Structure 1
Amino acid sequence: MRKRSISNVRRFGADGRKTLLLLLLLFAIPADDCFAQAPPPPVDGHALERVSPTIKKRLATRFSLGAFAGRFEETPLGAVREAVGEGTIQHRGDAGDSIYWLCYRRAQHRLWVVSSGEMGGPDHRVTEIVEELAEKDTEASTDCAIVPEKFGPLVFDGKLHLGMSRLEVVRALGPPSKSDAARMVYSHAGKLADGFDETAWLFLRFREEKLVSMRGGKTTTN
């Protein structure tokens, strides 16, 4: 009876070590492969419908992350991922409502590079980018990849970046299509040389007169 008990203990010990090893291997899998990273913050779907497209100049045609230069509706998410060397392309939704995105963080900054499942095409070209600045480091979620410092700042159209004052934004872009105490909206609609219709937007949010959130995007339709 005693020998059988010892044998059972030994067998349990071996099985327990195998189980522990499997658990260690499971938790060694990178978090990106286990959990989807936070999706971009939602936007009011009717926001543009309430704003007249008063901006004549084209908006959100290009962006830069440090020395990396991209163009809306032309640069694929994969090119951004390859340049940065970090991040995992995420996906949510079906058909025309689906989106693909990359999520990054750096100190208090949180950045989403987004492709509409319909407008971004099969190679998931960038159609929108969102960047927010949290009040404290602890408010920036840790479920996004860390973007190296050399890929900052994010700049829209060679002039717009977080930290600008309201006055600096107006000097750079002109009067907004709509504004209130904490927000500005720039809306553009125009026809391209090839006859396609272009819609572009910038949603800006301020805190203590400093730009702390910007959302820029563009779509082209026929």
Structure 2
Amino acid sequence: MSDTQKLTPALSTAGRDLLRRKMRSIFNVRQFGVDGRKTLFLLLLLFAIPAGDCSAQTPPPPVSEHVFERVPPTVVKRLATRFSLGAFAGRFEETPLGAVRKAVGEGTIQHQGHAGGSIYWLCYRRAQHRLWVVSHGEMGGPDHRVTEIVEELTEKDTETATGCAIIPEKFAPVVFDGKLHLGMSRSEVVTALGPPSKSEAAQMVYSHAGKLANGFDETAWLILRFREEKLVSMRGFKTTTN
């Protein structure tokens, strides 16, 4: 089997073209505000929504738009800069999907969409854990560098999940920035990361926006979901624009 499997696009050609034009207009702005960053992130996430005929391939789960409503970038410290899978260490926007696959020794890089509206991902499962390592189109570059990681702890075993390879135990836990991992309590998360940009009963969102030394703008999000006060889903995303 090929290391990369192409899937049916999630959006129509007209829809992809419209979103791509909007995305280009955002990139042409030297520095955009909260609304621009929100739009950029939502545009990227739209391509993760599965079409009916490719849902069996288990693409990354979509995010509801309301998650980003009125979420200012209040976090000063950089977010989603690095990640680890057990002893394997990687960095957002630097580590290619191929390096993750080579280290794990399992999985198929899957593909959905075209050009700037495409996503590439690896999907893994282990017991009740499900993990997606994602590269978004142009953001990830030709070598498909990691721009997003999603891990979920399901209430049922993931043995029936399709399109997801079994990841060896030695690649657990998945950790963001050397501190965030599933199973943490809400209070432990706040101790590790500080107060969130937005907090709800079952969810917290951390948002960061800053300018790097080279003049580029960096945007990062952490979307965390809790069940019975324990972290059961974490989603980290990072992008750098000029």
TM range (shorter): 0.7 to 0.9
- Work out which of the residue numbers 69, 72, 79 in structure 1 matches 2:92: 72
SS at match of 2:61: coil
Structure 2 vs 1, CA of residues 87 and 48 (structure 1 numbering), >3 Å: closer, same or farther? Answer: same
Residue 214 (structure 2) pairs with residue 191 (structure 1): no
What is the percentage of aligned positions where both structures have the same residue?
Answer: 83
Following the alignment from structure 1 to structure 2, what is the Cα–Cα distance between the partners of residues 76 and 33? 16
Q: Under a length normalisation based on structure 2, what TM-score does the superposition of the two structures give?
A: 0.75
Q: Tell me if structure 1 keeps the 8 A contact 2:125–2:158.
A: no
Per-residue deviation, 1:137: 1.0
| Residue aligning to 2:103 | 83
Q: Tell me if structure 1 keeps the 8 A contact 2:150–2:235.
A: yes
Q: Report how many aligned residue pairs link the two structures.
A: 193
Per-residue deviation, 1:37: 2.8
| Residue aligning to 1:177 | 197
Aligned counterparts, 1:124-139, within 5 A: 124-137=144-157
Per-residue deviation, 1:99: 0.2
Structure 1 gaps, min length 5: 1-28
Aligned counterparts, 1:1-222, within 5 A: 37-45=57-65, 47-48=67-68, 50-137=70-157, 141-222=161-242
Per-residue deviation, 1:48: 3.6
Following the alignment from structure 1 to structure 2, what is the Cα–Cα distance between the partners of residues 72 and 50? 25
SS at match of 2:149: strand
Following the alignment from structure 1 to structure 2, what is the Cα–Cα distance between the partners of residues 37 and 50? 33
Per-residue deviation, 1:96: 1.7
Per-residue deviation, 1:141: 1.6
Higher deviation after alignment, 117-126 or 33-42: 33-42
User: Deviations for 1:58-106, whole angstroms, at most 9, x for unmatched residues?
Assistant: 0000000000000000000000000000000000011222100000000
User: Deviations for 1:27-73, whole angstroms, at most 9, x for unmatched residues?
Assistant: xx89x979873100001356445310000000000000000000000
Per-residue deviation, 1:136: 1.8
Q: Counterpart amino acid of 1:217? A: F
Structure 2 gaps, min length 5: 7-53
The ranges of structure 1 where at least 4 consecutive aligned residues each deviate by more than 2 angstroms after the TM superposition are: 32-37, 44-50
Following the alignment from structure 2 to structure 1, what is the Cα–Cα distance between the partners of residues 234 and 126? 16
SS at match of 2:191: helix
Following the alignment from structure 1 to structure 2, what is the Cα–Cα distance between the partners of residues 125 and 138? 26
Q: Counterpart amino acid of 1:189? A: A
Structure 2 vs 1, CA of residues 140 and 208 (structure 1 numbering), >3 Å: closer, same or farther? Answer: farther
Q: What do you get for the CA RMSD once the two structures are aligned?
A: 2.0
Q: Looking at CA atoms only, which structure, 1 or 2, has the larger radius of gyration? A: 1
